[in-house]
Amino acid sequence: MTGTRFLPSTHGLKFPNYWPPGTPDLIAHTPIGNLPIGNANAGLCGGMCFAARDLFDAGRQPPPATAAPPAGSALLTYLTWRLLASWNIPAGVLTYYSWANTPDHDTLGGVRRGLARMTIQDQIPKVTASIDQGKPCPLGLVTVYSTDLAQLGRCHQVLAYAYQWAGGYFRVGVYDPNSPGHDDIYIGLDTSNPGRTTAFDHNVNIADPIRGFFGSAYSFSDPSAIAGACGVPESCTCC
């Protein structure tokens, strides 16, 4: 297994990606009172993955909280802004939509590439290159085949931190915000025939099948306001 120094049980957030219905993502303080914005119950997986990567890059431990942060807290606010960053608007949203409208296999005599080929030939090399450099790679998991924009909310985000090849079989270890503390979450696939529909085997905690994945555009954000203790002293930027 080729991996980074990231480990979900050490560097991932300790609480699950779940907030009670009615929990706002943000609370705006206005002259006429507090204004709730958004719905954290829809999930903040991308924000949690980006926050975990921020903390890792900064050499900081995640906050000690094992319960999801409440509305209006600094931590939930940070996760919300990092969620928006993970969408990489507009390019990231367009990528999800394009992939959600692409068949699993090549069509038109191979002219139109399917999600299997796009994942295997385009994305896996990017993921492995990032991990080879010691950098966990956020992944967008495409789980739907639909033209309905509302269905994109069923897609998911994880953070890839290790990979392994066994012949043509590729397996990547991921931090899944839906399963905090688990170091055994993975996604695997046979890469030997990228032109055909490829089954993804995995134990990511989602109800829908994975159709394909791509590396999300990531840029660092200083997590000092939400960080725990120093986690990687030799790379620490806080002391």
> Each residue of 68-98: pLDDT tens digit?
999 999 999 999 999 999 999 999 999 999 9
Which pLDDT band, with edges at 50, 70 and 90, does 231 fall under? low
User: pLDDT band at residue 30, thresholds of 50, 70 and 90?
Assistant: low
Q: Work out the pLDDT band at 184, boundaries 50, 70, 90.
A: very high
Compute the distance between CA of residue 123 and CA of residue 138 in angstroms, rounded to an integer: 12
Report how far residue 155's alpha carbon sits from residue 97's, in angstroms, rounded to the nearest whole number. Answer: 10
Listed in sequence order, the residues at least 6 apart from 169 whose beta carbon sits closer than 8 Å to its beta carbon are 188, 189, 190, 191
pTM of the predicted model, to two decimals?
0.93
Q: In whole numbers, what is the pLDDT of the chain averaged over residues?
A: 93
At residue 174, the pLDDT reads: 98
Per-residue burial over 83-98, b = 16 or more CB atoms within 10 Å of its CB, e = otherwise:
bbbbbbeeebeebbbe
pLDDT in the model for residue 230:
64
pLDDT at 234 > cutoff 70? no
Report yes or no: 157 and 86 within 8 Å, Cβ to Cβ. yes
Does 177 score more than 70 pLDDT? yes
* CA-based radius of gyration for the chain: 18
Q: Which is higher by pLDDT, 10 or 26? A: 10
Buried b (16+ CB within 10 A) or exposed e, 125-141: eebbebbeeebbbbbbb
Residue type, position 199, single letter:
A
3-state secondary structure of 34: strand
CA dihedral 160, 166, 169, 173 (to 10 degrees): -20
Mean pLDDT along residues 44-65:
97
Alpha-carbon gap, residue 68 to 25, rounded angstroms? 12
Type of residue numbered 109 = G
Average pLDDT on 32-48 reads: 86
